[in-house]
Amino acid sequence: MPAQAGIFYAKISAMETDKIASTHLGKKSSGSESYNPSLLVAVPREENRRQYKIEKNNLPFCGCDVWHAYEFSALTLNGLPVTRLIKIKYDCKSDFLVESKSLKLYLNSFNMSRFGSNTKECLDICRKHIEYDLSEKLQTAVTASFLPNDAQRTEIFEDYQNISDFIDEKSLRIEKFKESPEVLDTEKSHKKEYRLMFESLRSNCRVTHQPDFGDIYIYYRSEKHIKEDGLVKYLCSFRSEYHFHEECCEMIFKRIYDLLDADDELMVCALYTRRGGIDISPVRYSKNCSADDFTKLSDLNIFARAGAKQ
């Protein structure tokens, strides 16, 4: 066990979404009481990337998708329950992402399944199953780790400033709630670093249409200054968008990346709050990015979620 835009795009999107939805949504999960890797559903990344001119063989970013599953549980061979938070990670270069409802059902299938003669053996066997099953389904290397129940929370983005500090709420008018890159604007400045966070990101699941909330962190180093009013308007324009979390992160990265110069640095990280016991934390950064604020997030041995929203 090893560790086209336009009409064509819209048709594929609808067809793929219907396929995903028909797999699990609105159905009883009868297999959830017994370990069942067939519950996992892989979603191709290419579909959304094509619309934003993100080329598979020439990605403008590096990064990974990090998942925290807070409600994992299984049984030892003698029936003793074992409960842990599991942290899962895989590279954004993968052709597929895992659909979150399917991951939840898959992880739930461990709940009444028995593994190992003691807690340590149980967790080790489960981790190997999870890494193998997800790696097989997503066709990429997936790593996972169970965190101890007394793991300390770690703050990642300590020196990021809330973007609301730079705007005048009284004069700001936000009227577009479908993704609107035209509201973004830059002005010439001297080269400097910007570290900004926005605590009211909202988008909607492409499959379930349920709202998803999160905080987004943006680092860039450039001679161009992205005007904060426009950036707030742009981030708010996701409130009526229907995309997976990973797609939203990449869309935001690409729109900002297209504004900046080729040698500028950029990082975008979206820390979504959990829904259904799972949160998703995608991070994307330029290949020359010197900021490594996200390293704690990608460390499987650290519980890198310190916010009150968790």
Give dist(CA 173, CA 271) in Å, integer.
26
Catalytic residues: 205, 212
CB 227 within 8 A of CB 275: no
CB 43 within 8 A of CB 60: no
List residues bridging with 65 in a β-sheet: 90, 282
Q: What phi and psi values does residue 271 have, to the nearest 5 degrees?
A: -100, 95
CB 111 within 8 A of CB 70: no
Tokens 């949160």, residue? 279
CB 224 within 8 A of CB 261: yes
**How large is the greatest C-alpha to C-alpha distance in the chain, in angstroms?**
67
What the block records as the tokens of 147 is 């965190």
Task: Collect all residues with Cβ–Cβ distance below 8 Å to 23 and sequence separation of at least 6.
Answer: 41, 99, 102
What the block records as the tokens of 58 is 């020439």
